[in-house]
Each structure stands twice: as C-alpha cells, then as structure tokens.
Amino acid sequence: MTQLGQEEPIGFGRLILTTVLIAVVFILWAFFFTPKKENPVNRAQVVENKEVETTSPPQKEEVKQEEAVSPKSDAPLFSEKEESGEIENSDIKIKLSNKGAVLVNAFLKKYKEKDSQTPDDLVSPLSSALKDYPLAVLTGDDAFDKNIKEALFHMEQKGNEVTFSWSDGAGNSIIKKFSLGESGYLLNYEISGTKNGKPLESVFIAFGPGLGKLTKEQAKNKYFQQEYVGYEANGKFEKAVRSKKAAEPYTEEIYGANAKISWSGVANNYFAAIFLPNDDLKSIRLRTIPLNEKLKKIHPADSDIILLSETKGKGAIYLGPKDYNELKKLKGTAFRMMNWGWGWFAEICYFLLWVLKKLY
C-alpha cells in the first residue's frame, strides 16, 4: 500500500489477474455464503445461574509483566462519588467508570461512520440501557457480583495506566488495572481479588452486550455479520453459536470446559474484541439475551450476546478493526476471526490473500 501522493505502476497483467481473483472470491462468497455450523470441542450446555468452580486453569509461560498487587481486604476502600478515567494513544481512546470499574467507551480514532464526526465506539448503546458494561467481573455468586457491579471503586491514574480498587473490609475485594501502549489496540489488564478472605483463583471477564452500534440498515442486510464468538481450543479455531430461542433473562451456554483455550473473542462485520490471557482460559460462556420492543429500538435485532471468559486475571484485550494484518499479530488462530467462512472455503480465501500479497 502506498501513501497519499505516491503512485505505484501496476502492470496490466497483474491488474487482470487481481481482477479475476477478486471476482472468484465474490462468486464463491455469494454461492457458499451461509456457513456450516461447527460443533464446539465440548457440546454447549444450557445452564442456569450456578456457583462457578474455582480450580486453577493449566498454566503456560507468562508474558513478562509486573505482578498484580494483592488486594488488602482488611479495611474498607471505595470512592465517595462516581467518576471516570480516560487513557488513550494514537489509535484508541478508552473511557472507564469507577462504578464497577467497567469500560464505558472504546473510541477507534481512525474509524468513523459515513457523515459522522464521532469515532466508532466498540461499546454498544445496549450497555447503558441494560446497565451491563464490558470488562465487568463475575464470579458466579450473585450477591458478590452485584456488590462489585454497584461498587464505587477508588481510582488512581498514572499516565496511560489506571487502577481501580474496592474492599468492603469483610474479606471481599477487587483490584482492576488497565493500561495502554503508545500505539495499537491492545488494552492490558490485571485483575485480582478476594472473597470471604480467600484469593479468587479465577474470574469471568465480560464483553458485551454487543459490539458497537447496530443500525437498521445493517440489521436488514443479510450480508452484514452481527456479533459472533470465536475461540481457540486445543490449537483449533472454534465458533460458539448464540441461542436461537433465548429465555428471559438470558440463556447461557458453556464452551471449552475441558479444553486448552488460548483466546476468545467477539466480532461483527468490521470490528473485534479478543481476550488474550497470559494463562489459558478455563472456559468461556456465551449469554444470549432476548430483546424486547423497547430494546430493539436501540439495537434492531431479536437478541444480542455477552461473552464471559474465565481467566486467572492477567493478559490483554484487542479492541480494534477486523483487519487481517492486525489480527495476524495476535496469538494462534486469532486471525480466523476474519470469518471468511468455515472449512475449506476459508482456506481458499487465505490462499487468494497470500497470492495478492505476493503480487503487491
């Protein structure tokens, strides 16, 4: 790719070949557009609210990173008022609220909708309507999780790093630290906590509901991919499928409970949010939320999803465009979130992309 103001001579033969390859991609896409569903490594099970197991997931080599600070749960620690913190770099601007220590906005500075002056935001308007935000922490204990959700965390910010701390003084506490580099779409996280005086060995981190704003035009377009979930289990790319008939308040399915899960993510037609833990995820859960008529005015679809990734608490989250070159920088098969199709059709697309890269 050249910069503005530069010209690159293109041979006529290469131009013809490129045109033919593009035509082949479009023909195959149109003919085989509807993908076949792949079964996850472990068959999805519909579950009700249950206590989450806390056995440690298998460990692997950790990325060099400072150890998370152990929360001090012997004294209450919280804020008297609701406030927010912002961290940003040349590519993304992150806004976090101290109420629950959650993600309120994730603005991609280089991406805007047509005729819009506001950068694209990866946080769906549904979050505000449902009072459920990305990066919320869940343990499976409803009472504990509710306290965390409503807590006003003490916030400290130093440069592009912000730390949220909360403790009730009765052995329950959570510390959440987030940071950005000078550029790029990776948001680093460290999460630790205690429950009844005992350290939490793993927690669920949420992303959703949804991913960005869904317009009426996109909802009506059969070629627009609404939110879907992918993950890598035992080195193989898998897809988690949302429930077609979600019950109130939601239907929850478990994936990869006995597998080595390297990463998990949510994507739509343009963007992706991918959890990249230092240690393998223990499991993932996919919640499908039915939307009533009021919520459909905000998000014009019958349902939406929340991805819950069970982690030991350290890693990074990719929040950015569904760009092949960006996704290829991530671990394992994360680039498969491009979702060109499943099975052999995806391999054809990879081959065609490789040919085009060689030509140019």
Tokens of 97: 């609220």
120 in the same domain as 48: yes
| Residue that the structure tokens 């979702």 belong to | 339
Q: Is residue 30 part of a domain?
A: yes
Q: Which token pair is 319? A: 């929040």
Considering the domain architecture, whether residues 115 and 253 belong to the same structural domain is answered as yes
Query: Residue written as tokens 């949010």?
Result: 273
Does 179 lie in the same domain as 231?
yes
- Statement to judge: residues 29 and 105 lie in one domain: no
Same domain, 151 and 24: no
Q: How far apart are CA 82 and CA 293, in angstroms?
A: 31
Residue 30 in tokens: 């149109």
170 assigned to some structural domain: yes
- Assess whether 173 and 187 both reside in one domain: yes
Q: What is the pLDDT along the chain (360 residues), one digit of tens a residue?
A: 444 444 445 566 666 776 767 766 666 655 544 443 334 433 333 333 333 333 333 333 333 333 444 555 468 999 999 999 999 999 999 999 999 999 999 999 999 988 788 999 999 999 999 999 999 999 999 999 999 999 999 999 999 999 999 999 999 999 999 999 999 999 999 999 999 999 999 999 999 999 999 989 998 888 888 899 999 999 999 998 888 888 889 999 999 888 999 999 999 999 999 999 999 999 999 999 999 999 999 999 999 999 999 999 899 999 999 998 999 999 889 999 987 544 445 556 556 665 665 665
Tell me, yes or no, whether 261 and 163 share the same domain: yes
Same domain as 184, residue 122: yes
- Please give the Cα distance from 327 to 323 (Å, whole number): 6
- Tell me: do 276 and 137 sit in the same domain: yes
Task: Give the CATH number of the domain where residue 211 resides.
Answer: 2.70.98.90
Q: Are residues 333 and 227 in the same domain?
A: yes
In a domain, 5, yes or no: no
Task: With respect to residue 184, please indicate whether it lies within any of the assigned structural domains.
Answer: yes
* 256 Rama class: left (phi>0) / alpha (psi -120 to 50) / beta: left
* Distance, CA of 34 to CA of 25 (rounded, Å): 14
User: In this structure, are 124 and 262 located in the same domain?
Assistant: yes
Model pLDDT, residue 262: 96
| Whether residue 321 is found in the same domain as residue 345 | no
Instruction: Specify if 4 maps to a domain.
Output: no
Residue 352 maps to a domain: yes
Domain-embedded: residue 345? yes
Domain count, the chain: 2
Q: How far is residue 316's CA from residue 83's CA, in Å, rounded to a whole number?
A: 24
Examine residue 3 and state whether it is found in any structural domain, yes or no. no
Domain holding 19, by residue range, is 10-35+339-360
